[in-house]
Chain A
Amino acid sequence: MKERLLERLLEVANKPFEALKDLRAKKKVIGSTLADVPEELIHAAGLHPFLILGTNEPIRVSAALMPDNCCSLARSNLELVLAYQPDFFDGFVLSQVCDTTQHLCDIWKRRFQDRYFENFLAPRQVSRPSARQWVAVEMRRLRESLGRYAGRAITDDDLRRSIRLFNENRALLRRLYDVKRRAPGLFSNREFFDVVKAAFFMDRSEHTELLKPLVQWAEGEAEKGAADGHFPAVVAGIVVEPPQIYDLLDEVGANVVADNLPTASRYIYYDVSEEGDPIEAMAERHVSRPNFSPINDQVERIYTDLIELYREYAAQAIFYIHIKYCESQDYDLPDIKRKMREEGIPMLVVETEYQSTHLALMKTRIEAFCEAVLGRV
Chain B
Amino acid sequence: MQGEKPKSAKELAKELTAQYLEEARTAHEHGKYVAYTTAVSPVEIFVAHDIIPIYPENHSVACITKRLCTELSEAMENEGYTSHLCAYARCDLGYRLVGKSPMGGIPDPDFLLACNAQCFTLTKWFEVLSRQYRVPLFVFDTPQWIRDQEARKSILRYCVEQLKELISALEELTGKRFDYDRLREVVRLSDEASRLYRRFLDMASYKPSPITIFDALIHMAITVYLRGTPQAVLYYRTLVDEVQQKADRGEGAVPNERFRLYWENLPIWFKFRDHFNLLASYGAAILTSLYVHAWSYEFDLQKDPLETLAENYVSVFSNVTLEERAEMALDLFRRYSLNGMIMFINRSCKAVSFAVHELRDLLSEKTGIPALVFEADMGDPRFYSEAQIRTRIEAYLETLERLEG
Give the B-binding residues of A (Cβ under 8 A). Answer: 64-70, 96, 98-100, 102-107, 110, 119, 121, 123-125, 128-131, 133-134, 137-138, 141, 294, 296-297, 299-300, 302, 325, 327-328, 330-335, 337-338
| Across the A-B interface, the 10 shortest Cβ-Cβ residue pairs | A103-B354, A106-B322, A331-B124, A334-B80, A121-B143, A125-B139, A99-B351, A130-B161, A99-B120, A134-B158
Q: Are B347 and A67 neighbours in the complex by a CB distance under 8 Å?
A: yes
Find chain A residues with CB under 8 A from B89 CB: 331
Q: Does B58 contact A (CB under 8 A)?
A: no
Q: Are A294 and B131 neighbours in the complex by a CB distance under 8 Å?
A: no
Among A64, A129, A332, contact of B357 (Cβ-Cβ < 8 Å): A64
When C-beta atoms are compared, the residue in chain A nearest to B320 turns out to be A106
Q: Does B209 contact A (CB under 8 A)?
A: no
Among B81, B137, B162, contact of A334 (Cβ-Cβ < 8 Å): B81
Q: Are A330 and B82 neighbours in the complex by a CB distance under 8 Å?
A: yes
- Assembled-state Cα–Cα distance A302/B137 (Å): 15
Given contacts A141-B150, A141-B151, A299-B131, contact A106 B123 (CB under 8 A): no
When C-beta atoms are compared, the residue in chain A nearest to B377 turns out to be A69
- 14 cross-chain CB contacts under 8 A: A67-B345, A67-B356, A98-B120, A99-B119, A103-B355, A104-B354, A121-B155, A124-B141, A130-B158, A130-B165, A331-B121, A331-B128, A332-B127, A335-B131
Closest Cβ–Cβ distance, residue A64 to chain B (whole Å): 7
Q: Does B130 contact A (CB under 8 A)?
A: yes
A interface: dominant SS: helix
Closest Cβ–Cβ distance, residue B323 to chain A (whole Å): 8
Find chain A residues with CB under 8 A from B84 CB: 69, 325, 327, 330
Q: Does B353 contact A (CB under 8 A)?
A: yes
Among B139, B351, B357, contact of A297 (Cβ-Cβ < 8 Å): B139
When C-beta atoms are compared, the residue in chain B nearest to A300 turns out to be B131
Q: Are A137 and B141 neighbours in the complex by a CB distance under 8 Å?
A: no
Among A110, A119, A125, A330, contact of B358 (Cβ-Cβ < 8 Å): A110
Digit string of B257-274 for contact with A (CB within 8 Å is 1, else 0)? 000000000000000000
Question: Which residues of chain B (352-387) have a CB below 8 Å from chain A?
Answer: 353-358, 375
Among B127, B137, B150, B350, contact of A331 (Cβ-Cβ < 8 Å): B127
Interface centre among B84, B154, B354 (most CB of A within 10 A): B354
Find chain A residues with CB under 8 A from B280 CB: none
Find chain B residues with CB under 8 A from A331 CB: 81, 85, 89, 121, 124-125, 127-128
Closest Cβ–Cβ distance, residue A82 to chain B (whole Å): 13
Give the A-binding residues of B (Cβ under 8 A). Answer: 79-82, 84-85, 89, 116, 119-121, 123-125, 127-128, 130-131, 137-139, 141, 143-144, 146, 150-151, 154-155, 157-158, 161-162, 165, 321-323, 345, 347, 350-351, 353-358, 375
Q: Are A66 and B139 neighbours in the complex by a CB distance under 8 Å?
A: no
- Assembled-state Cα–Cα distance A331/B82 (Å): 9
Closest Cβ–Cβ distance, residue A78 to chain B (whole Å): 11
Given contacts A110-B358, A137-B158, contact A131 B351 (CB under 8 A): no
Given contacts A328-B124, A334-B81, contact A105 B350 (CB under 8 A): no
Among B137, B321, B322, B375, contact of A299 (Cβ-Cβ < 8 Å): B137
Q: Are B144 and A119 neighbours in the complex by a CB distance under 8 Å?
A: yes
Q: Are A65 and B81 neighbours in the complex by a CB distance under 8 Å?
A: no
List 16 additional contacts besides A103-B354, A302-B127; criterion CB under 8 Å.
A65-B358, A99-B351, A103-B322, A103-B350, A106-B322, A106-B323, A123-B158, A130-B162, A133-B161, A134-B161, A137-B154, A137-B157, A141-B151, A297-B127, A299-B127, A331-B89
Q: Are A330 and B81 neighbours in the complex by a CB distance under 8 Å?
A: yes
Q: Are B120 and A294 neighbours in the complex by a CB distance under 8 Å?
A: yes
Q: Are B137 and A297 neighbours in the complex by a CB distance under 8 Å?
A: yes
Given contacts A69-B84, A70-B350, A331-B85, contact A121 B358 (CB under 8 A): no
- Assembled-state Cα–Cα distance A198/B303 (Å): 51
Find chain A residues with CB under 8 A from B146 CB: 119, 121
Interface centre among A69, A107, A133 (most CB of B within 10 A): A69
Closest Cβ–Cβ distance, residue A96 to chain B (whole Å): 6
